Amino acid sequence: MVQRVMQFDAVVVGSGIAGLTMAVGLAREGRDVALVTKKQLEDSSTNWAQGGIAGVLDTTNEESIEKHIQDTLDAGDGLCDEDVVRSVVLEAADRIQSLINEGVIFDRASDGNFDLVKEGGHQEKRILHVKDRTGAAIEGTLIKRLHEENVTILEGWMAVDLILQKQNSPEEGISGIWCLDPEGEVHSIISNALILATGGAGKLWRETTNPSVATGDGIAMAHRASVKTKHMEFIQFHPTALAIPGKQPFLITEALRGAGAILMTSEGLQEYRKSDKKPDHFSFMRSIDSRGSLATRDIVARATDRILKQSGEPHVLLVTEHLNPEELKSKFPTISQRLAKYGLELGPDPIPVTPAAHYIVGGIEVDSRGQCKTFDGSTYKGLFAVGEVACTGLHGANRLASNSLLEAIVMTHRALNKALVETEKNQENDTGVPLWRAKGLDNLREHAPIKADRQALQTIMSDDVGLVRRNERLQRAQRKILHITEEIDRIWRSSKPSRKLVELRNMSIVSSLVIDAAISRKENVGLHYNLDQ
């Protein structure tokens, strides 16, 4: 296919809750919108989100609102932007209502009120959910709305790099984005507004709860265009991923612990079965945190990691045998169905779980309207980041459970209003956009080095830049990732891009950002834990 130049008012990259909300909102206001997603619309972290969305719906209940604010600040370990936290929590009711208006049907209790649940780090039940598939329910609803609007959907297209108005001149803003189509050709897409909603970077590690698309693409593209990143050292490992040898980790939602599931070692379970004491008495979390199995994710994950290293076991156990199995199966059908594939049953059988990379707390630094910031702190004209790819100041050093979907809808709403201004019809973009560099590039001759380097990168990040860090290991990881980056760059300069090559290039850049930030962080806070500090 011959390279093409396409033009839209706005381009949205990513099809999670943030990207879909932005695309639908822009299209409803008459903007010509393209949505770029490198696989199918459903391939996003939103679709995999089980737990729910946190928010206080009663705006007159000042005590509950303050508790949500305080829980968020406590989880963030002193690094949250309190103004952002307060504004997001206060806006929660309106934005959750907007999801309900779109058609999301959150579960209700027998009295007709919402069936609110509690997760780790929360003082109260304040999380709305749709069984244990909240993300999929929201995603499905928004995809229906997307198809009702006049949006150009480019499935199987992968964003490659931002196009600046003037190359290496971020103060002039963006012209658009280069995208790789399914046939391997790169096209130029012109737009007045570009919204990065590309999600996280869990695939930097061997074990992750993330979908295959989570390779840090938005962060890497933005970094190459002189966009500032922040808090990249804070990587959240979910403490309860289903641990089945040879299988991708499957998230076991925190809501299951909110329903009473208890973390134990195999020895603790044996002792519990011989005793008449309550199950939480036998949890290894009991002596670590007063909240026990419902402590925040960083605390539970590190405690689990320490237990596993001491015992040499591959996993700990999430115990539910003291709970009503039929109620569990009704509340958690997705988990129940996945367990059944491995001959396990909620209630009778302990669930083997282990920590896995889950959520990148830092990301592209943005202002209160989702506009990206440059290295000098100014905003980047026409460029926005929303969802997990963005660092808004809400999470600080650690994300409170179920605050991510809330952040996505609140911040996307704010970014949408600004993007509408950027895409007013009287604005014209420079049509002199360069085509992708195609001359002298050959088809990628050998794919084996790409696969080997990707595996090496994941091994380095898993072994040296995981839950618990040391200075020597971080410095070794820094040297090794630099070597991989240099090798990738040699291939990149001589070969036509492929999805795997683009991803690996991005993964190496984001790995370096994480490592550099971890080395720069001189105190243990939140998700960053260095034994040498």
| CB 327, CB 347: distance < 8 Å | no
Model confidence over 135-181: pLDDT tens digits? 889 999 999 999 999 999 999 999 999 998 765 555 668 889 999 99
Share of the chain above pLDDT 70, in %: 94
Q: How far is CA 90 from the centre of its chain?
A: 23
Q: Tokens for 273?
A: 């079965």
Among the listed residues 21, 100, 10, 49, the one whose alpha carbon sits nearest the alpha carbon of residue 412: 21
- 270-292 burial: b if 16+ Cβ within 10 Å, else e: eebeeeeeebbebbbbbebeebb
Q: What is the mean pLDDT of the segment spanning 391-408? A: 96
- Rounded-to-integer distance, Cα 333 and Cα 340, Å: 10
Q: Kindly report the average pLDDT of the chain as a whole number.
A: 92
Model confidence over 402-455: pLDDT tens digits? 999 999 999 999 999 999 999 987 555 555 667 787 666 767 766 778 999 999
Q: Are strands 390-391 and 363-365 parallel, antiparallel or unpaired?
A: parallel
Amino acid symbol at 148: E
Q: Which domains does the chain have, with CATH numbers?
A: 5-51+61-234+361-422 (3.50.50.60), 240-356 (3.90.700.10), 448-520 (1.20.58.100)
Res 428: pLDDT: 58
Res 439: pLDDT: 65
DSSP state letters, 223-242 = HHTTB-EE-TT-EEEEEEEE
Res 341: pLDDT: 95
- Rounded-to-integer distance, Cα 159 and Cα 123, Å: 41
Coil/strand/helix, residue 182: coil
505 is a catalytic site residue: no
| CB 419, CB 26: distance < 8 Å | yes
Q: Tokens for 454?
A: 């990707």
Among the listed residues 188, 177, 184, the one whose alpha carbon sits nearest the alpha carbon of residue 436: 188
Active-site pick, 133, 145, 257, 297: 297
**476 pLDDT higher than 80:** yes
**222 pLDDT higher than 90:** yes
Model confidence over 338-354: pLDDT tens digits? 999 999 999 999 999 99
Q: What are phi and psi of 172, to 5 degrees?
A: -85, -10
- Rounded-to-integer distance, Cα 156 and Cα 39, Å: 4
C-beta atoms surrounding 152 within 10 Å:
15
Which helix (H) or strand (E) covers residue 13, if one does?
strand 10-13
**255 pLDDT higher than 90:** no
Q: What is the mean pLDDT of the segment spanning 466-483? A: 97
Res 41: pLDDT: 80
Model confidence over 381-390: pLDDT tens digits? 899 999 999 9
| CB 35, CB 146: distance < 8 Å | yes
Amino acid symbol at 266: S
How far lies 237's CA from each of 156, 297, 427, 457, 510, in Å? Answer: 29, 7, 44, 18, 17
Res 51: pLDDT: 74
Q: What is the mean pLDDT of the segment spanning 111-138? A: 92
Res 273: pLDDT: 96
Give the highest mean pLDDT range of 49-63, 197-211, 242-256: 197-211
Q: Tokens for 262?
A: 């208890």
| CB 99, CB 141: distance < 8 Å | yes
Selected residue with higher pLDDT from 133 and 350: 350
Res 395: pLDDT: 98
Q: Assign 460 a pLDDT band (cuts: 50, 70, 90).
A: very high
Among the listed residues 505, 523, 491, the one whose alpha carbon sits nearest the alpha carbon of residue 78: 523
- Rounded-to-integer distance, Cα 185 and Cα 2, Å: 7
**8 pLDDT higher than 70:** yes
Q: Tokens for 390?
A: 């963005």
Res 500: pLDDT: 94
Res 377: pLDDT: 83
Coil/strand/helix, residue 108: strand
